[in-house]
Amino acid sequence: MTVKNGKIVSMDAYKQTGRVIDAEGRLIVPGFHDGHTHPHVPFTLVSPEAPMLFKAKSVEDATNSLREYAEKHPEDKFPRMFGWMSAIFKEGEKPTRQVLDSIIPDRPVYLVHHSGHEFWANTKALQMAEIFEKDPENFYGYIERDPETGFATGYMTETEYAGTDGVLLNTVKAVKPLTFREQTLVLRFILEEYSKVGVTSIWTKDGDIEISKIYEQLLKDDSLPVRATLDMLYTSYSSIDDIQMYADRATELKNAPLPKGFLKSPGAKLILDMPADGYVWLFESDKDPDTKTGKPFFSLEGFREQAIEADKKGLTINVLGLGDRAIHEALNVLEEIVKINPERERRHTIEHAEYIQDNDLGRFKDIGVIAVMNPIGVYPDKEYQKQLEKNIGKNRLDVLGMRWKDLIESGALVVNGSDFPLAPMDPMVGMHLLVNGTDLKGEPEGGLWPHKHISIEQALRTYTVNSAYASFDEDHLGMLKPEYAADFVILSENILDQQFDKTRLPKVKAMLTVFNGHIVHEDFSAEEKVIDFGG
């Protein structure tokens, strides 16, 4: 392959001039595209240098981590840590502010559940957010309260987007833990991690205009190490007029005097339901009669109005939809849009798309809706799965859950994303979950739901050619051929070889990552990859 000026110019290298890299017979694949990720969470959910809490086995493990981090970082005005599992609490126990107060009473503290939708805060944080004594107005989330005093206990769900400005976002804004310049530095450090695992394009599935300015600054500074497609998140504090603002920002970025092909914000993320207790919107089911059917996070009518407006303004709609009912309703609205709005090329998506009724499966292809899924949905942790089974129902989970295989076979386009920081950003870990369905130790034997596993080639497509299509980049990304961008990865093992042991997937390394014709990561050492993730 010959590369020049950021592009592939031919698929041979017979005239060897310039720098020659010998892949020594190794597999070269297109640069990976992470179709659903949240790299800028350090500005909200987690302090930039705080370690993850995935591995904590008890409340004590988690609080020890917090103590250690807070002692090392007295400069952090608002310690936030991410990733605790529900199983660190004994049956019937819940997070309390008092436990955190005993470690840090004088700075606000937030520990965020691994789902990103449950929160554990200390008293100082609750007071600063002005929710200690009562709920804010127009509130959608849940703040647990002591039945006697009415004070917040320190446990909350879905408060990040709720209320006038989001409880957590409000506190972050009040404390201002990072300046704009610091945010660009932090984001750059995080984005550079993508290069190490072969990711050259990302699609963030939340964000706002302020965050898009950080990406723009990085591009101006010539230090954006991935191609970034950004979403604008519609929350309870957004107004329908904001959709015009999102569309204007999309146009502004498109016409800005910036290098082309690196940054755009064509999407609006609209929320139908949420991956949290009581907000996964499910159909009632005879087979799973005890499960909670949940409800939409905002109203269905509100969602419909936002979607029609966003489509009219030319935006790509990314619907957060998990439950089978939410997905059914999302498909109805997306189908209606095609009929009532002017004709145009549409590539709307449903994000997560975790539970799909048989009747709705074929509609993805028919309407042209793309399923953007997250392999973390098969997170092979026993406690997590037990909880999921209780909330969702065993039958629904086994039959209607995580239907990437059925969707692909129905002819629908499936894209996968890490949902970082919920899971590592490494596509090899995602592919491992899709293909093997086990944790990193190989448990459970044979993998969760073997009837849902897909082939390595199918998995690879969801991280390359399919994602390029979803973001309207199929004419220059996602494949290796002349005129396409020189974004590619040399892998340490040939994952497409018949003889390849597929249980080795998470161990496969990106030995060389080339982005726009530049080497952005190189590791030809024999050292094993370290993966910080649950089991």
User: Which residues contact Zn ion (rule: CB under 5 A)?
Assistant: 419
Residue 8 or residue 191: which is nearer to Zn ion going by CB? 191
Which value, to the nearest 10 degrees, does the dihedral of the CA atoms of residues 503, 509, 515, 520 take? 160
Beta bridge partners, 80, equal 110
CB atoms within 10 A of CB 38: 22
Nearest approach, Cβ of residue 206 and Zn ion (Å): 7
Q: How far is the CB of 397 from Zn ion (least distance, A)?
A: 20
Give dist(CA 246, CA 313) in Å, integer.
9
Q: Which is nearer to Zn ion, 56 or 423 (CB)?
A: 423
Amino acid at 448: L
Q: In the complex with Zn ion, which residue's Cβ is closer, 34 or 439?
A: 34
95 or 421, CB closer to Zn ion? Answer: 421
Which CB sits closer to Zn ion, 219 or 353? 353
Query: SS3 string of 174-206?
Result: HHCCCCHHHHHHHHHHHHHHHHHCCEEEEEECC
CB closer to Zn ion, 329 vs 419: 419
Comparison of 199 and 219: residue with beta carbon closer to Zn ion: 199
Minimum Å gap between C-beta 123 and Zn ion is: 29
Nearest distance from C-beta of residue 529 to Zn ion, angstroms = 24
Q: Is the dihedral of CA 372, 378, 384, 387 positive or negative?
A: positive
Choose between 206 and 288: whose C-beta lies nearer to Zn ion: 206
Kindly tell me which of 97 and 348 has the beta carbon lying closer to Zn ion.
348
Residue whose beta carbon is closest to Zn ion: 419
Instruction: Give the residue with the Cβ less far from Zn ion, 249 or 269.
Output: 269
In the bound state with Zn ion, the residue whose beta carbon lies nearer, of 35 and 154, is: 35
- Give me the least distance between CB of 521 and Zn ion, in Å please: 25
Element (H, E) at 80: strand 80-84
Work out how close the CB of 38 gets to Zn ion at its nearest, in angstroms, rounded to a whole number.
Answer: 6
Least distance (Å) between residue 222 CB and Zn ion:
29
Find, among 161, 182, 196, the residue nearest to 34 by Cα: 196
- Distance (Å, whole) CA 283 – CA 93: 30
Secondary-structure percent of the chain, ordered helix, strand, coil, rounded to 5: 35, 20, 50
Give one DSSP letter per residue of 442-491, joined into a string.
Answer: --STT-S-GGG---HHHHHHHTTHHHHHHTT-TTTSSS-STTSB--EEEE
Query: Cα(350)–Cα(352) distance, rounded to whole angstroms?
Result: 7
Cβ atoms within 10 A of the Cβ of 504, count?
A: 14
Q: ∠ CA(311), CA(313), CA(314), 5° rounding? A: 65
The residue whose two tokens read 């590791």 is 523
User: Closest distance between Zn ion and the C-beta of residue 520, in Å?
Assistant: 25
Task: Please calculate the CA angle 101-87-528 and round it to the nearest 5 degrees.
Answer: 100
Report the nearest approach of Zn ion to the CB of residue 349 (Å): 12
CB of 205 to Zn ion, least distance (A): 5
Distance, CA of 513 to CA of 521 (rounded, Å): 5
Quick one: 419 or 439, whose CB is closer to Zn ion? 419
In the bound complex, what is the minimum distance in angstroms from residue 199's beta carbon to Zn ion? 16
* Type of residue numbered 202: I
Q: Whole-number minimum distance, CB 419 to Zn ion, in Å?
A: 4
**CA 495 to CA 430: how far, in whole Å?**
14
Under a CB-based contact definition with an 8 Å cutoff, are residues 281 and 295 in contact? yes
Token pair, residue 527, equals 């050292």
What is the distance between the alpha carbons of residues 419 and 82, in angstroms, rounded to a whole number?
13
